A = this chain, B = another copy of it.
Protein backbone atom coordinates (compact mmCIF):
# COMPACT_ATOMS: atom_id res chain seq x y z
CA UNK A 1 0.00 0.00 0.00
CA UNK A 2 1.39 3.36 -1.08
CA UNK A 3 0.00 6.66 0.12
CA UNK A 4 -2.58 8.25 -2.21
CA UNK A 5 -2.85 12.05 -2.31
CA UNK A 6 -5.77 12.91 -0.04
CA UNK A 7 -7.36 15.17 -2.66
CA UNK A 8 -7.77 12.08 -4.87
CA UNK A 9 -9.45 9.90 -2.22
CA UNK A 10 -12.99 11.02 -3.12
CA UNK A 11 -12.40 9.35 -6.52
CA UNK A 12 -12.52 5.98 -4.76
CA UNK A 13 -16.10 6.53 -3.49
CA UNK A 14 -17.50 8.67 -6.33
CA UNK A 15 -18.14 5.66 -8.66
CA UNK A 16 -20.33 3.91 -6.06
CA UNK A 17 -18.20 0.94 -5.00
CA UNK A 18 -19.04 -1.86 -2.63
CA UNK A 19 -16.93 -1.06 0.45
CA UNK A 20 -15.73 -2.93 3.51
CA UNK A 21 -15.66 -0.80 6.65
CA UNK A 22 -13.03 -1.84 9.22
CA UNK A 23 -13.22 -0.85 12.87
CA UNK A 24 -11.23 -1.54 16.04
CA UNK A 25 -13.18 -1.60 19.28
CA UNK A 26 -12.64 -3.24 22.68
CA UNK A 27 -9.47 -4.91 21.41
CA UNK A 28 -11.19 -6.54 18.43
CA UNK A 29 -11.08 -5.78 14.72
CA UNK A 30 -14.30 -6.07 12.74
CA UNK A 31 -15.48 -5.50 9.17
CA UNK A 32 -18.83 -4.88 7.53
CA UNK A 33 -19.83 -4.68 3.87
CA UNK A 34 -21.52 -1.38 2.99
CA UNK A 35 -22.85 -0.11 -0.32
CA UNK A 36 -24.72 2.90 1.08
CA UNK A 37 -22.03 5.55 0.92
CA UNK A 38 -21.78 8.98 -0.77
CA UNK A 39 -19.16 11.62 -1.40
CA UNK A 40 -20.01 14.84 0.48
CA UNK A 41 -16.96 16.96 -0.39
CA UNK A 42 -13.60 16.79 -2.13
CA UNK A 43 -11.79 17.44 1.18
CA UNK A 44 -12.64 14.40 1.27
CA UNK A 45 -15.83 13.94 3.26
CA UNK A 46 -18.13 10.93 3.02
CA UNK A 47 -21.57 9.82 4.19
CA UNK A 48 -22.12 6.25 5.34
CA UNK A 49 -25.55 4.96 6.25
CA UNK A 50 -25.85 2.42 9.03
CA UNK A 51 -27.61 2.21 12.34
CA UNK A 52 -28.04 0.41 15.64
CA UNK A 53 -29.23 -2.75 13.83
CA UNK A 54 -25.61 -3.20 12.74
CA UNK A 55 -22.92 -4.55 15.09
CA UNK A 56 -20.29 -2.11 13.76
CA UNK A 57 -22.47 0.89 14.63
CA UNK A 58 -21.32 0.87 18.28
CA UNK A 59 -17.67 0.78 17.22
CA UNK A 60 -18.20 3.80 14.94
CA UNK A 61 -20.00 5.74 17.67
CA UNK A 62 -17.54 4.90 20.44
CA UNK A 63 -14.20 5.04 18.62
CA UNK A 64 -15.19 7.69 16.05
CA UNK A 65 -12.86 6.05 13.58
CA UNK A 66 -12.93 3.57 10.70
CA UNK A 67 -11.20 2.54 7.51
CA UNK A 68 -13.07 2.33 4.21
CA UNK A 69 -11.71 -0.50 2.05
CA UNK A 70 -12.58 -0.44 -1.65
CA UNK A 71 -13.77 -3.77 -3.08
CA UNK A 72 -12.77 -4.91 -6.55
CA UNK A 73 -14.18 -7.75 -8.66
CA UNK A 74 -11.70 -10.30 -7.28
CA UNK A 75 -13.28 -9.79 -3.83
CA UNK A 76 -16.85 -10.67 -4.80
CA UNK A 77 -16.94 -13.77 -2.58
CA UNK A 78 -15.27 -11.92 0.29
CA UNK A 79 -17.77 -9.07 0.37
CA UNK A 80 -20.53 -11.69 0.53
CA UNK A 81 -18.75 -13.57 3.34
CA UNK A 82 -18.31 -10.33 5.28
CA UNK A 83 -21.79 -9.04 4.47
CA UNK A 84 -23.73 -12.14 5.50
CA UNK A 85 -22.11 -12.67 8.91
CA UNK A 86 -21.90 -10.58 12.08
CA UNK A 87 -18.86 -9.59 14.09
CA UNK A 88 -20.89 -10.43 17.17
CA UNK A 89 -20.20 -14.13 16.42
CA UNK A 90 -17.35 -14.22 13.95
CA UNK A 91 -13.75 -12.92 13.76
CA UNK A 92 -14.18 -11.93 10.13
CA UNK A 93 -10.52 -11.11 9.44
CA UNK A 94 -9.47 -14.57 10.62
CA UNK A 95 -12.38 -16.51 9.19
CA UNK A 96 -12.27 -14.99 5.71
CA UNK A 97 -8.51 -14.77 5.19
CA UNK A 98 -8.25 -11.00 5.44
CA UNK A 99 -5.13 -9.27 6.74
CA UNK A 100 -5.33 -6.22 9.02
CA UNK A 101 -2.48 -3.76 8.49
CA UNK A 102 -1.67 -0.91 10.87
CA UNK A 103 -3.12 2.42 9.77
CA UNK A 104 -1.35 5.72 10.26
CA UNK A 105 -3.94 8.06 11.81
CA UNK A 106 -6.57 5.72 13.27
CA UNK A 107 -6.64 2.50 15.28
CA UNK A 108 -8.94 0.75 12.80
CA UNK A 109 -6.88 -1.42 10.44
CA UNK A 110 -6.29 -1.17 6.72
CA UNK A 111 -7.44 -4.25 4.80
CA UNK A 112 -4.45 -5.60 2.89
CA UNK A 113 -6.56 -7.45 0.31
CA UNK A 114 -8.39 -4.26 -0.78
CA UNK A 115 -7.29 -2.24 -3.79
CA UNK A 116 -7.41 0.93 -1.68
CA UNK A 117 -8.15 2.08 1.88
CA UNK A 118 -9.21 5.42 3.36
CA UNK A 119 -8.57 6.18 7.04
CA UNK A 120 -11.53 8.15 8.38
CA UNK A 121 -12.67 10.04 11.47
CA UNK A 122 -16.36 10.22 12.36
CA UNK A 123 -17.08 13.96 12.56
CA UNK A 124 -20.87 13.82 12.90
CA UNK A 125 -23.73 11.34 13.28
CA UNK A 126 -27.13 12.39 12.00
CA UNK A 127 -29.12 10.13 14.31
CA UNK A 128 -32.50 10.92 12.74
CA UNK A 129 -31.33 9.47 9.43
CA UNK A 130 -28.58 7.05 10.56
CA UNK A 131 -25.96 8.91 8.54
CA UNK A 132 -22.35 8.92 9.70
CA UNK A 133 -20.29 11.84 8.38
CA UNK A 134 -16.67 10.79 7.85
CA UNK A 135 -13.61 12.90 7.11
CA UNK A 136 -10.90 11.04 5.20
CA UNK A 137 -7.54 11.75 6.87
CA UNK A 138 -5.18 9.44 4.98
CA UNK A 139 -5.55 7.27 1.88
CA UNK A 140 -3.67 4.27 0.56
CA UNK A 141 -3.64 2.44 -2.77
CA UNK A 142 -2.07 -0.78 -4.00
CA UNK A 143 -1.26 0.04 -7.61
CA UNK A 144 -0.03 -3.53 -8.20
CA UNK A 145 -3.46 -4.93 -7.26
CA UNK A 146 -4.25 -7.27 -10.16
CA UNK A 147 -7.96 -6.66 -10.63
CA UNK A 148 -8.68 -2.93 -10.41
CA UNK A 149 -12.30 -3.19 -11.56
CA UNK A 150 -14.41 -1.65 -8.80
CA UNK A 151 -17.44 -3.70 -7.78
CA UNK A 152 -20.95 -2.23 -7.67
CA UNK A 153 -24.00 -3.79 -5.97
CA UNK A 154 -27.41 -3.87 -7.60
CA UNK A 155 -29.27 -4.79 -4.41
CA UNK A 156 -30.75 -8.07 -5.66
CA UNK A 157 -27.66 -10.22 -5.13
CA UNK A 158 -26.16 -9.14 -8.47
CA UNK A 159 -22.81 -7.38 -8.52
CA UNK A 160 -21.28 -5.57 -11.50
CA UNK A 161 -17.64 -4.79 -12.21
CA UNK A 162 -16.32 -1.73 -14.02
CA UNK A 163 -16.37 -2.08 -17.80
CA UNK A 164 -15.77 0.37 -20.65
CA UNK A 165 -13.98 3.63 -19.78
CA UNK A 166 -14.87 7.00 -21.27
CA UNK A 167 -12.21 9.70 -20.86
CA UNK A 168 -13.79 13.15 -20.96
CA UNK A 169 -11.32 15.17 -18.93
CA UNK A 170 -11.20 18.13 -21.32
CA UNK A 171 -14.99 18.37 -21.41
CA UNK A 172 -15.07 18.91 -17.63
CA UNK A 173 -13.04 22.12 -17.90
CA UNK A 174 -13.02 24.13 -14.68
CA UNK A 175 -15.54 21.76 -13.06
CA UNK A 176 -12.70 19.45 -12.02
CA UNK A 177 -11.53 19.91 -8.44
CA UNK A 178 -7.83 20.78 -7.94
CA UNK A 179 -5.25 18.01 -7.80
CA UNK A 180 -7.07 15.18 -9.60
Q: Is A169 an interface residue (CB 8 A)?
A: yes
> Chain B interface: which of A100-108, A111-119, A137-145, A171-179?
A171-179
Q: With an 8 A cutoff between CB atoms, is A96 at the interface?
A: no
Copies of this chain per assembly: 2
A36 and B35 contact, CB distance less than 8 A: no
Q: Is A47 an interface residue (CB 8 A)?
A: yes
User: 1/0 per residue A1-16: CB within 8 Å of B?
Assistant: 0000000101100111
Asked if A122 lies at the interface with its beta carbon under 8 angstroms from chain B, I say no
Q: Which residues of B lie under 8 Å from residue A158 when comparing CB positions?
A: 165-169
Q: Provide the bound-state CA to CA distance between A45 and B87, in Å.
A: 27
Q: Is A161 an interface residue (CB 8 A)?
A: yes
Within 8 Å by CB of A155, from B10, B126, B171, lies: B10
Residues of chain B lying within 8 A (CB to CB) of residue A169: 156-158
Contact of A73 among B128, B166, B171 (CB under 8 A): B166
Cα A49 to Cα B14 with chains together (Å): 12
Q: Could you list some 18 contacts between A and B, CB below 8 A?
A: A11-B154, A11-B155, A11-B156, A14-B16, A14-B36, A14-B154, A15-B154, A16-B16, A35-B39, A76-B168, A80-B171, A129-B131, A151-B166, A156-B176, A157-B168, A158-B165, A158-B169, A163-B164
